[in-house]
Amino acid sequence: MAAALIACVRPALRGPGRLVQGYRVPDVNHAPLPILKISYCYVLEAFSNGTSLWNDKKEPAQAKFFPPSSKVMLLPDTFKGKVALITGGGTGLGKGMTTALSRLGAECVIASRKLDVLEKTAHEISSETGNKVHALQCDIRDPDSVKKAVAGLISVAGHPDVVINNAAGNFISPSERLSANAWRTITDIVLNGTAYVTLEVGKELIKAGKGAAFLAITTIYAESGSGFVVPSASAKAGVEALYKSLASEWGRYGMRFNVIQPGPIKTKGAFSRLDPMGVFESEMLQRLPCGRLGTPEEIANLAAYLVSDYASWVSGAIIRMDGGEYVFMAGEFNGLQKVTTEQWDIMEKLIRKTKGS
């Protein structure tokens, strides 16, 4: 019995580093390396100390039942004549959502601190779709910067019909090592930044008598909580509370508020740069009931639906899109899927022999 149960358990980590909520963590024998966050995807940086790395990226068999689609889901002119603001729209999921909305006819405005990145992305997407994409520099941590950016948005494109709060920041740390400044660094971006953008745009919409669809991108641990990313988990949970609250209060002004919690998404280029040996990708695949990683296009399709008129009766919703990862990790006995048929036969015989409670 014990041997059978032990056989069910596999180490959660392989190689000299580990993945924690989307961040590569070196082990204690390695010097700290820069932490990298790409949008809201789970990414990792594989590194080698000369030892061979575990490499088996074969998707579980069930992945064949859940093939991804890269096609835009909605009709081509769904957002024709509409304006969309996307924070963090220059890279990662933000870029993916901007691309999808532009393909569907929207005039997009992307905002972040790095104007050069924004301008490059804006030109790239606009050249493909033929629709306008504007780049606005904005530090969402600064209310004055947000106010200036919103004024610029209205000046170049008009009041937005769609607002996607996608910008964020994060780092990993034992909570006992967090300083007040470390806490503020994350909460200023994630919670305060989202609030500043949402409230500033919302006030302008109310004055103009215009409604809009708001969407925030959070994470699955906003719901569960998670150690080592406590400022992020707390701030993301705050964002979800903000959006649920405003869905109730500002519906009278014609505004809707919804949230997407993405799971592990394979961003274009990220794994080739950050996990060249495939050290951890297979571990992620093993805890995904759908048997594969998500794609930016899938998140973009869900986002496009939620901010479209097709979802006009959807407000205050928090939608998890993670290939089943959250429920798999939450289920106490889900790890028993690793038990073989032969091991089940042994355990069944032992269970049947057990008498009493």
Task: Name 22's Cβ contacts closer than 8 Å, sequence gap at least 6.
Answer: 37, 40, 41, 42, 43, 44, 170, 219, 264
Whole-number Å distance between alpha carbons of 111 and 115: 8
Whole-number Å distance between alpha carbons of 57 and 282: 5
Whole-number Å distance between alpha carbons of 23 and 186: 15
Q: Which of 169, 163, 162 shows the shortest CA–CA distance to 114?
A: 169
Residue written as token pair 């149960």: 5
Task: Name 55's Cβ contacts closer than 8 Å, sequence gap at least 6.
Answer: 277, 278, 279, 282
Which residues participate in catalysis according to the annotation? 221
Residue written as token pair 């996607």: 164
Whole-number Å distance between alpha carbons of 310 and 317: 15
Q: Give the CA-trace dihedral at 283, 284, 286, 289, to 10 degrees.
A: 180
